[in-house]
Amino acid sequence: MRTFFSALLLLMAGGVQAQTTQPWQPDADGDGLINIEDMVQFLTVFNTQWGPDLTVACDYQGTDLETLFADLMNGDAQLDSLYFAYSIYDSAQVYVPECPEPVTVYNLVERSGTITSFEHMTFPDGRIAVSSGEEVDGHYVFFDWRYNPGFAVYSLEFGDAAIVAESAPFFDGLWHYANDHIGLPLPSEWSLDGLGIHFPSYEGTLDQYGDFQFVPYWSTTAQDSTED
């Protein structure tokens, strides 16, 4: 298990301990009196562990996506490229000249491409990012992975200026597909399989209108082969 996950899980355990209260109930038998029966109950647990035992070794191995995320943030892996494809659609009520009633118009944006350049960055406040930004077929596209150790926040974000250029006034002006989650393990909706990375969008953003696919290709320091 990687040091990255060990540190994160210890941080999480510490956060849980700080937020959890375990009040002692002196009236163990619930008769409204503190007497010998209550003392007997106390003696049965005398000199035992109180609260979570943080000395227990963590054996959590992480999912495929969590492992990739950790390797990218640690620098143990390098993201070489990312294939993206999406098909999004929506309708809108608009007014046209000389027509007093709104009419319904429809819009479909379909696009695919490959992002080929990623940079690993560490910011002064400790945040770590593996980020891209380049033009693909005439429109600016980015894909961003981030980890904030101060809050144990992970985030993934995708944006394509083609959505803005080809879809106004659709999609409520939104052009990004993103989410974040605090702590481990990541929700079951966050996963990595043969079809790529799966993660939900913020409520109200593009996933309610269509389908997205993100397929990463990366190399590790331990081997020169490319994964997908």
Indicate the domain borders of the chain.
1-61, 77-227
Other beta carbons within 10 angstroms of residue 167's beta carbon come to: 21
Peptide bond before 169: cis, by omega within 30 degrees of 0?
yes
| Token pair in block for residue 224 | 């020169």
pLDDT bracket for residue 168 (50, 70, 90): low
100 pLDDT exceeds 50?
yes
Q: Closest Cα partner for 170 from 102, 94, 225? A: 94
Q: Over the chain, what is the mean pLDDT?
A: 78
Higher pLDDT pick, 136 / 8 = 136
13 pLDDT exceeds 90?
no
Distance between CA atoms of residues 88 and 138, nearest Å: 19
Higher pLDDT pick, 140 / 179 = 140
**pLDDT value, residue 150:** 86
**pLDDT value, residue 106:** 78
Q: What is the 3-state secondary structure (H, E, C) of the chain?
A: CCHHHHHHHHHHHHHHHHHCCCCCCCCCCCCCCCCHHHHHHHHCCCCCCCCCCCCCCCCCCCCHHHHHHHHHHHCCEEEEEEEEEEEEEEEEEECCCCCCCCEEEEEEEEEEEEECCCEEEECCCCCEEEECCEEECCEEEEEEEEEECCCCEEEEEEEEHHHHHHHCCCHHHCCEEEEEEECCCCCCCCEEECCEEECCCCCCCHHHCEEEEEEEEEEECCCCCEEC
29 pLDDT exceeds 70?
yes
Q: In Å, how far from its chain's centre is CA 119? A: 19
Taking only Cα atoms into account, the Rg of the chain, rounded to an integer number of angstroms, comes to: 25
Query: Each residue of 41-79: pLDDT tens digit?
Result: 777 777 776 666 667 777 778 899 999 999 999 999 999
Residue with the two structure tokens 């390098």: 78
Query: Each residue of 108-157: pLDDT tens digit?
Result: 888 999 999 999 999 999 999 999 999 999 999 999 999 998 888 888 98
**How many residues belong to the chain?**
228
197 and 179 in contact (C-beta within 8 Å)?
A: no
Distance between CA atoms of residues 88 and 75, nearest Å: 34
Q: What is the value of pTM for the model shown?
A: 0.67
**CA quadruple 169, 173, 179, 182: dihedral positive or negative?**
negative
Instruction: Name the β-bridge partners of 162.
Output: none
